[in-house]
C-alpha cells in the first residue's frame, strides 16, 4: 500500500520552470496546458474532430457562393446549354437502355439519373426523319426498275413532313402525358410523375430502334418488313411501359390500363405511319409519257 505522502498532490517542476521563464503565460484548467497570450489553442475533443470549426466555416462559405451564383434566365443561351451537356458515353448508354428494356429496370432512374438531355432525342428524331425520306424514295426507285412504265420524280418535301410529324409526336404526346400525370398526382398523393424533360427524353430515345428498322424495310419482302416493324414496336413500346409503370401503378387499375393502352396505341400508329407513308403519296408516281416528234 502506497504511503500517504506519495498520494499527496505535488506541483510539477516543468510547469513551475515554464511559468518562471514566461510570466505572461496562462494555464488552462482541465488539461494543465500552458498557452501563452497572443496564441490560439485548438482543442481536440474525445471524438477526434480536429478543425471542425474550420470545416463548418468552409461549408458555409461554399453554400453562400452557390446561393450568390445566379441561374441563367429562360431567354438566355446558357439556360438551354445544360440540356445538351452530355458526352458520347452517356448517349450510348441511354440508347442501349432503350434497346434492351426489361422489367424492373427503370430507364429514368438507371440511365437518365435526374439529368435528362435534349441532344440525343433531337438527333434521333432528325435522323429518323431523314432516313424515312431517303428510304421512301429508294423504295420507289426500286419499284421503277421492276416496272419501266412508272415514272418517278423525287419530292424533297418528304423530309419536312416526316420531321414535323416526328417532332410534334415527341413533344406533344409527352406534354399531354405529363399534364395528365400531374393532374392525377393531385388525386393520388402517392404518385410522383416525371418531369416534362424526362418524359420527352424517354420518348426521344425510344424512337432509336426505328432507325435501323426503316433501313431494313428496303428488303422487298412484305412479311419480313412487317416482322421487323413489329419487333421494333415491341421494343420501343416496352421501354415506355416499363418506364411509366412505376408512376401509374399507384393509381387505380382502370386508369393505369387506359393510360398505358393509349401510350402503346399512339406508338403503334406512329410505327404504322412510318411503314406505309413513305411508299404512298409522299412521292409522285405516274405512267411514263412518251413524246413523239
Q: Is the pLDDT of residue 30 over 60?
A: no
Q: What 3-state class would DSSP assign to 105?
A: coil
Note the pLDDT of residue 116. Answer: 86
Q: Report yes or no on 160 lying in a domain.
A: yes
Between CA 229 and CA 208 the distance in angstroms is: 13
- Domain limits at 255? 89-287
In the chain, % of residues over pLDDT 70: 61
Q: Report yes or no on 199 lying in a domain.
A: yes
Please spell the DSSP secondary structure of 128-188, one letter per residue.
HHHHHHHHHHHHHHHHHHH-TTEEEE--THHHHHHHHHHHHHHHHHHHHHHHHHHHHHHHS
Q: Report yes or no on 106 lying in a domain.
A: yes
Q: Are strands 33-35 and 26-28 parallel, antiparallel or unpaired?
A: antiparallel
Q: Is the pTM here over 0.85, yes or no?
A: no
Note the pLDDT of residue 209. Answer: 95
Q: Report yes or no on 201 lying in a domain.
A: yes
* 6 confidence band (pLDDT: 50, 70, 90): low
Report the domain count for the chain: 1
Q: Report yes or no on 164 lying in a domain.
A: yes
What are the tens digits of pLDDT across the range 102-113?
Answer: 887 888 888 887
Between CA 185 and CA 100 the distance in angstroms is: 29
Of the candidates 127, 120, 126, the one whose C-alpha atom is nearest the C-alpha of residue 92 is: 120
Q: Is the pLDDT of residue 66 over 90?
A: no
- Exposure string for 67-96, b = 16+ CB within 10 A, e = fewer: eeeeeeeeeeeeeeeebeebeeebbeebbe
Amino acid at each position: 500500500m502506497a504511503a500517504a505522502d506519495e498520494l499527496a498532490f505535488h506541483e510539477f517542476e516543468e510547469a513551475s520552470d515554464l511559468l518562471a521563464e514566461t510570466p505572461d503565460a496562462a494555464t488552462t484548467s482541465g488539461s494543465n496546458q500552458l498557452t501563452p497570450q497572443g496564441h490560439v489553442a485548438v482543442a481536440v475533443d474525445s471524438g477526434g474532430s480536429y478543425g471542425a470549426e474550420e470545416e463548418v466555416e468552409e461549408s458555409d462559405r461554399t453554400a453562400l457562393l452557390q446561393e450568390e451564383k445566379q441561374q441563367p434566365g429562360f431567354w438566355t443561351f446558357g439556360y438551354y446549354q445544360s440540356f445538351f451537356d452530355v458526352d458520347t458515353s452517356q448517349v450510348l448508354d441511354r440508347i442501349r437502355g432503350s434497346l434492351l428494356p426489361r422489367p424492373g429496370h427503370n430507364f429514368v432512374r438507371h440511365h437518365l439519373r435526374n439529368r435528362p438531355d435534349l441532344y440525343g432525342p433531337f438527333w434521333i428524331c432528325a435522323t429518323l426523319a431523314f432516313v424515312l425520306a431517303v428510304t421512301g424514295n429508294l423504295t420507289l426507285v426500286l419499284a421503277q426498275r421492276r416496272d419501266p412504265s412508272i415514272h418517278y420524280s423525287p419530292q424533297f418535301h418528304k423530309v419536312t413532313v416526316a420531321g414535323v410529324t416526328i417532332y410534334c409526336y415527341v413533344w406533344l404526346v409527352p406534354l399531354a402525358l405529363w399534364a395528365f400525370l400531374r393532374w392525377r398526382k393531385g388525386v393520388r398523393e402517392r404518385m410522383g410523375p416525371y418531369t416534362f424533360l424526362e418524359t420527352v427524353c424517354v420518348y426521344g430515345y425510344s424512337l432509336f430502334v426505328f432507325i435501323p428498322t426503316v433501313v431494313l424495310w428496303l428488303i422487298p419482302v412484305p412479311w419480313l418488313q412487317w416482322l421487323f416493324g413489329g419487333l421494333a414496336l415491341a421494343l420501343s413500346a416496352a421501354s415506355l411501359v416499363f418506364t411509366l409503370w412505376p408512376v401509374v401503378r399507384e393509381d387505380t387499375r382502370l386508369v393505369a390500363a387506359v393510360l398505358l393502352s393509349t401510350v402503346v396505341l399512339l406508338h403503334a400508329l406512329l410505327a404504322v405511319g412510318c411503314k406505309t407513308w413513305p411508299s404512298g403519296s409522299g412521292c409522285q408516281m405516274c405512267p411514263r409519257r412518251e413524246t413523239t416528234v
